Amino acid sequence: MPTHHSDLYHSGPYELGCGTDLVLGHDELSRRLEREQREKADAQIHLQRLSAEVQQLRAQRDEALRALELSNQNAMFQLAKAAEEKDGEAGQHMRRIGVIAGMIAEAIGCSEHFCELICDAAQLHDIGKIGIHESILSKPGALTIDEWKLVREHSRIGAGILSAFRSPVMDLAAEISMSHHEHYCGAGYPLGLAGEAIPLAGRIVGLADFFDSLTMDRCYRKAMSDEQALAMIAERRGEQFDPRLVDAFLRIADQVILARDSINEIEAICDLPDIHGDWWMAF
Ligand SMILES: [Fe+2]
Ligand SMILES: [Fe+2]
């Protein structure tokens, strides 16, 4: 039988034989429980502090990643703009393609998130032209077969540039760059994909690009009228273009033309800053 408190501590209350020792044992037990509860509470406070620190670090990391993502995105927009200038344009084509692609996506019921994403990503569709020599891009006459082969490479070049970055906009932009010249019937390039095998964003941008390219002056031909361009799109329903997209596009053609004209007017008045976001929703 223990005779000293230290013995009590080691033997524990359940080994005690008399009433006094039992009381002492319970005191010691409650002290031990209190101490354990205190330690537990301290540990919980420590854990809460640690988790707050981790959360703060995560928020800082996310902010830094977002800043990096935006900076990469801005660099890519500048590069796409430079590519467009090489091709005889001054930024308007890429802006218009972004808006028109967003409108088509909205017309077929895509989510608001996807519409915003494609509006940004579509603007980078021809970034690969940065890798094609100006003398070919701005050649007034017909291209030779070899020159044409080089121009067609802009899809792959663009996808290669864009896939070096990881973000929702860049991923979609790489997909669009690779697929915006595929045809619904399989006669496009670079892979000759057909139907639904062509990513939806590529099908949308292919249509937006066709309409916008036809209705603007190029070094090798004058702009067509909107009516002519719309008739050509209707003719290519189910051939070059996804029939569902053609139907949606023809349904919203008036709004598309209005939005395009508004962009051109604004561009004519002032140089728009490089805003990539919801600005197109204004149209
Ligand atoms: Fe292109
Ligand atoms: Fe284009």
pLDDT value at residue 164 = 92
pLDDT value at residue 218 = 73
**154 CA → ligand 1 middle, Å:** 7
Residues 266-283 pLDDT 10s:
766 655 455 444 434 433
Distances (CA, A) of 165 to 73, 76, 82, 158, 160: 9, 10, 19, 12, 10
Q: Return the sign of the alpha-carbon dihedral for residues 100, 103, 108, 112.
A: positive
pLDDT value at residue 192 = 97
Domain boundaries, the chain: 74-282
Number of the ligand closest to the Cα of 208: 2
| Distance (Å, whole) CA 97 – CA 79 | 16
**93 CA → ligand 2 middle, Å:** 7
Neighbours of ion ligand 1 (CB under 5 A): 126
**128 CA → ligand 1 middle, Å:** 8
Task: Give the residue ranges of the chain where pLDDT is below 70.
Answer: 1-24, 90-91, 219-220, 267-283
How are the residues of the chain apportioned to helix, strand and coil, as percentages rounded to the nearest 5? Answer: 70, 0, 25
Number of the ligand closest to the Cα of 179: 1
Residues 180-238 pLDDT 10s:
999 999 999 999 999 999 999 999 999 999 999 999 877 667 889 999 999 999 999 99
User: 147, 171 in Cβ contact below 8 A?
Assistant: no
Is domain 74-282 annotated with CATH 1.10.3210.10? yes
pLDDT value at residue 21 = 56
Nearest C-alpha neighbor of 96 from the set 210, 225, 208 = 208
Q: pTM of this prediction?
A: 0.78
